[in-house]
Amino acid sequence: MSAPKCLQISESRRYIVRDDGERFFWLGDTAWELFHRLNREDADHYLRDRAAKQFTVIQAVALAELDGLNTPNAYGHRPLIDNDPAQPDLSPSGYWEHVDYIVDRANSLGLVVGFLPTWGRYWKDPLGSGGIFTPDNAEMYGRWLGKRYRHASLVWILGGDRPVENDTHRQIIRRMAAGLSDGDGGTHLRTFHSQGAAGSAQFFHDEPWLDFNFRQNSHAIEYRGWYDQTVVDYRRMPIKPVIDGEPVYEDVPVDLDLSRARATAHDARRALYWDLFSGACGHTYGHNSVWQMWRPGHTPILGASKSWRDALQSVGARQMRFARTLFESRHISTLVPDQTILAPDQSAVTTGPPILAARDESGRFAMIYAPGGAAVTVRRNVFKSDKIVATWFNPNDGQITRRSTLPNTDEQRFTAPSCGLDTDWILMIDRCESLGAAAR
């Protein structure tokens, strides 16, 4: 299936839709060095794997982080003449034709490209010390990119892991965004990738060019102070969809601290559900070896030791699709974060991994995420129905277990099928008469 040519923002402003009006679940993968480090055979292998695992978005950078200006790509080509954004190197079979190939190949496999025009260092650092962008050449570069990829299936992700610290930075981003829209005729959505523990809303939420908010909740494994910020963006006005575009990566040192343990599949999975239960309309996964396309012969970043090909089969990457299946079956477009579903003593807990709750805005069903397999206590009369159906969903394997029909009377406590540090469960509660409708 080909990728949708044009993604749009829904009428409710809460989520993203395809060009045919169907909701779009953003299940991204961070492949920052895809254009820069992989040849076509390797790129094909990577893209086929991610399509098979039901990812929907591939996030990659044109002017790449790891010396993307001066270190040539897999075929010996560089992107710019004299590192001038106003002069893309258009040599036959050169750098940009390789980018064209990868974008086209991704689209043919049904994948949307989350296209970063540049990594942040090239606009944040001063001219002459690593920076190459001014407001004028940023707009020229954006216009050229927009025109070149006008007909591709992609989303523009400006920024590149850096904060906006002064008016020059702000003008570079604004002008690049304007150039992209001028070049592609406004065809593609635009957002901004900031530094860790921040997001686009911090800098550009009220600006009309920013179509949706894009967070980097970063490489921590704690909810408070990190993933709890997703719901803050969800509640902002004017309403805009929110995505966590860079959560903790599997196999990365926690907090990017080499003295700490490496994040596990469970850590990556927990970030996924914390975001989704906080109102995100999708999520991005990452692996420490895959983002940098590491293999023996490259200098490892953040202690990478597994080749990117081997890392494709990591447990966390295989588990992401279960969230997509669950949320697509449950009308993510109608899901509202709501901690009042939980009994007061449980929703008020401020220590340990939190239990998060969400409900269908029409009251047909509720979902509760229980990291660690904690017991869940649900407030009385969540549903105006005589009976409810309770079902446990296992994020480890996507299986459903323990479905039971219960009277909807008193406050009820539900105990997960198992518990433990690497365990998590989702409790789904349906109004009896709406069970069929909720699953459609």
Q: In what order do the strands lie in the sheet with 112-118?
A: 190-193, 154-159, 112-118, 57-63, 26-30, 282-285
Report if residue 56 sits inside a domain: yes
Report pLDDT for 439. 44
Report pLDDT for 297. 94
Q: Which two structure tokens, joined as six digits, stand for 407?
A: 């009277």
**pLDDT tens digit at each of 440 positions of the chain:** 678 889 999 999 999 999 888 999 999 999 999 999 999 999 999 999 999 999 999 999 999 999 999 999 999 999 999 999 999 999 999 999 999 999 999 999 999 999 999 999 999 999 989 999 999 999 999 999 999 999 999 999 999 999 999 999 999 999 999 999 999 999 999 999 999 999 999 999 999 999 999 999 999 999 999 999 999 999 999 999 999 999 999 999 999 999 999 999 999 999 999 999 999 999 999 999 999 999 999 999 999 999 999 999 999 999 999 999 999 987 667 889 999 999 887 765 566 789 999 999 888 899 999 998 888 999 877 777 788 899 999 999 999 987 888 887 778 899 999 998 889 999 999 988 654 444 44
Tell me: do 328 and 362 sit in the same domain. Answer: no
Question: What range defines the domain where residue 434 resides?
Answer: 338-439
**pLDDT tens string 193-215:** 999 999 999 999 999 999 999 99
Q: Which two structure tokens, joined as six digits, stand for 150?
A: 């006008």
Tell me: do 295 and 366 sit in the same domain. Answer: no
Q: Which two structure tokens, joined as six digits, stand for 268?
A: 């990556």
* Chain centroid to CA 6: 18
Averaged pLDDT of the chain: 93
If one counts the domains in the chain, the total is: 2
Tell me: do 108 and 68 sit in the same domain. Answer: yes
Q: In the beta sheet, which residues pair with residue 86?
A: none
Tell me: do 313 and 249 sit in the same domain. Answer: yes
Q: Which two structure tokens, joined as six digits, stand for 292?
A: 């940098």
Cβ neighbours for 152, distance < 8 A, ≥ 6 positions apart: 103, 104, 107, 113, 115
**pLDDT tens string 355-412:** 999 999 888 899 999 998 888 999 877 777 788 899 999 999 999 987 888 887 778 8
Give the domain-ending residue among 332, 362, 387. Answer: 332
> Taking the model in full, what pTM does it have?
0.96
Tell me: do 433 and 304 sit in the same domain. Answer: no
Give the domain-ending residue among 332, 354, 377. Answer: 332
Q: Which helix (H) or strand (E) holds 34?
A: helix 34-37
Helices (H), 109-214: 121-124, 135-148, 167-184, 201-204
Tell me: do 118 and 140 sit in the same domain. Answer: yes
Q: Which two structure tokens, joined as six digits, stand for 177?
A: 């965004």
How far apart are alpha carbons 31 and 59 in whole angstroms? 6
| Other Cβ atoms closer than 10 A to 97 | 13
- 44 three-class SS: helix
Tell me: do 389 and 324 sit in the same domain. Answer: no
How far apart are alpha carbons 406 and 409 in whole angstroms? 9
Q: Closest Cα partner for 243 from 204, 211, 266?
A: 211
Give the domain-ending residue among 283, 314, 332. Answer: 332
Tell me: do 45 and 165 sit in the same domain. Answer: yes
Strands 154-159 and 198-199: unpaired
Tell me: do 275 and 323 sit in the same domain. Answer: yes
Report if residue 3 sits inside a domain: no
> Are the C-beta atoms of 365 and 430 separated by less than 8 Å?
yes
Tell me: do 112 and 232 sit in the same domain. Answer: yes
Tell me: do 41 and 174 sit in the same domain. Answer: yes
Q: Residue 226 sits in a domain of what CATH number?
A: 3.20.20.80
Q: In the beta sheet, which residues pair with residue 243?
A: 214
Tell me: do 116 and 100 sit in the same domain. Answer: yes
Strands 190-193 and 154-159: parallel
Cβ neighbours for 281, distance < 8 A, ≥ 6 positions apart: 14, 15, 16, 25, 26, 212, 241, 242, 243, 332, 333
Cβ neighbours for 309, distance < 8 A, ≥ 6 positions apart: 42, 45, 295
